[in-house]
Amino acid sequence: MNLQQAFDALRQQETASAPRFDRMWRARAPRSLTPRLAFAAMLLITVAVLVFQPQKPQPSITAWKAPTDFLLQTPGRELLTSVPDLKGSRQ
Amino acid sequence: MEIEREIEELHAASFGWAMSCCGRNRQDAEEVLQDVYVKIFEGKARFDGRSTLKTWLFSVIRRTAASQTRQRMLHDVLTAKWARRELDPVSPTSDAAAQHAQTSEALIAALQQLARRQREVLELVFYHDMTVEEAAAAMGVSLGSARVHYDRGKKQLLARLNGKLSL
**pLDDT tens digits, one per residue of B10-68:** 999 999 999 999 988 999 999 999 999 988 888 888 898 888 999 999 999 999 999 88
Q: Cβ–Cβ of B165/A1 closer than 8 Å?
A: yes
Residue of chain A with shortest Cα separation from B104 = A10
Going by pLDDT thresholds of 50, 70 and 90, the confidence category of residue B167 is very low
Would the pLDDT of B163 be above 80? no
Q: What does B45-104 look like in DSSP terms, one character per residue?
A: S---SSS-HHHHHHHHHHHHHHHHHHHHHHHHHHTT--PPPPPPPP---SHHHHHHHHHH
pLDDT value for B71 = 83
ipTM above 0.95, yes or no: no
Using DSSP, state whether B37 is helix, strand or coil: helix
Residue of chain B with shortest Cα separation from A10 = B104
> Bridge-partner residues for B165, per DSSP?
B162
What integer best gives the mean pLDDT of chain B?
85
Give the gap in angstroms from C-alpha B123 to the nearest C-alpha of chain A: 8
Would the pLDDT of B83 be above 60? no
